[in-house]
């Protein structure tokens, strides 16, 4: 009886005959050419697996390109999109206006504004205010920013429409500071009337809204400027130039003329305080 081990030994033996393996016949020359097999389409990627599309960087506006460091120090800041329509696009932080002679007029604190509003402020200071203040205290050196961007209603009245401050389209100016350290308030009645009238005329020429003393009771100590767009380019210029307040004399009695007759004054009572006799009078 042949065992399995014997069969394996006989098969693996080098002297065992090897059966011939049949090969395919050669392809005839007249046979048509084989077409390559179409590759299977790549499986579609899921949305989560797809690489996120990179949004192209926004191009700077014409205003941003024009507002160079030779005109103002005003770095761009991200757009603001707040509640109730607050915020805006193409925003800058206006830190200083650069005058033609390279001196800087610093805004304290820096103002958050739309580029067009910042450009209008820079043009106003450079072309109008700096020449006007040239002979005052060594020239203008600073601008007191009372308010710029603030998400609020007009005059902070509950239920009122959105202020231009909420759109970063307004600036409140309280005073100018000069190189010698002196400060001039724009609403000070003691400041030269000609100076104040010239500032009013220049502001109302450049801005669509100018509010100051006498406008609505909310702008008695500062000036509001904005570039609000209205129908038919309607403008508002309300800034009354008040006259200086009259000097008030101290509440003291006038000096007694030397030719005045002597006054009668009561003497101190002599003796008993309970006496019914009237005190005698002396002439002074």
State yes or no: pLDDT of 101 exceeds 90. Answer: yes
Question: Number of H helices and number of E strands within the chain?
Answer: 5, 14
Q: What is the pLDDT of residue 25?
A: 77
Q: What is the pLDDT of residue 274?
A: 59
Q: Among 190, 184, 88, 175, which residue's Cα sits nearest to residue 135?
A: 184
- In 165-248, the DSSP E strands lie at 170-178, 183-185, 209-211, 223-226, 236-238
State yes or no: pLDDT of 140 exceeds 80. Answer: yes
Q: What is the 3-state secondary structure (H, E, C) of 2-41?
A: CCHHHHHHHHHCCCCCCCCCCCCCCCCCCCCCCCCCCCCC
Beta bridge partners of 91: 77, 114
State yes or no: pLDDT of 284 exceeds 60. Answer: no
Q: How many CB atoms lie within 10 A of CB 168?
A: 28
Rounded Cα–Cα distance for residues 83 and 66 (Å): 30
Q: What is the pLDDT of residue 32?
A: 73
Q: What is the pLDDT of residue 263?
A: 72
Model confidence at 57, pLDDT cuts 50, 70, 90, reads: confident
The larger pLDDT score, comparing residue 10 to residue 68, is at: 68
Q: What is the pLDDT of residue 81?
A: 93
Backbone angles phi, psi at 110, to 5 degrees: -55, 150
Rounded Cα–Cα distance for residues 90 and 149 (Å): 13
The larger pLDDT score, comparing residue 35 to residue 79, is at: 79
Bridge-based pairing state of the strands 140-147 and 104-114: parallel
């Amino acid at each position: 009886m042949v065992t399995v081990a014997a069969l394996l030994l006989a098969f693996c033996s080098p002297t065992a005959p090897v059966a011939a393996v049949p090969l395919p016949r050669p392809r005839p020359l007249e046979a048509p050419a084989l077409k390559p097999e179409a590759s299977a389409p790549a499986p579609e990627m899921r949305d989560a697996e797809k690489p996120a599309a990179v949004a192209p960087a926004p191009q700077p506006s014409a205003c941003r390109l024009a507002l160079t460091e030779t005109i103002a120090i005003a770095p761009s800041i991200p757009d603001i999109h707040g509640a109730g329509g607050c915020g805006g696009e193409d925003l800058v932080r206006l830190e200083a206006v650069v005058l033609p002679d390279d001196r800087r007029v610093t805004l304290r604190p820096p103002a958050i504004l739309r580029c067009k509003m910042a450009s209008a402020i820079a043009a106003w200071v450079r072309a109008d205010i700096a020449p006007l203040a040239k002979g005052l205290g060594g020239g203008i050196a600073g601008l007191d920013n009372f308010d710029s961007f603030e998400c609020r209603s007009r005059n902070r009245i509950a239920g009122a429409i959105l202020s231009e401050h909420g759109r970063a389209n307004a600036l409140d100016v309280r005073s100018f500071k000069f190189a010698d350290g002196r400060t001039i308030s724009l609403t000070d009645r003691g400041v030269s009337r000609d100076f104040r009238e010239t500032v009013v005329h220049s502001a109302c020429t450049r801005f669509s809204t100018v509010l100051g003393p006498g406008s609505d009771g909310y702008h008695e100590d500062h000036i509001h400027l904005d570039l609000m767009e209205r129908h038919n380019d309607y403008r508002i210029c309300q800034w009354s130039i008040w006259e200086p307040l009259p000097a008030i004399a101290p509440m003291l009695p006038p000096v007694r003329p030397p030719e005045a007759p002597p006054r009668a004054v009561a003497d101190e009572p002599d003796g008993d305080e309970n006496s019914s006799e009237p005190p005698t009078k002396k002439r002074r």
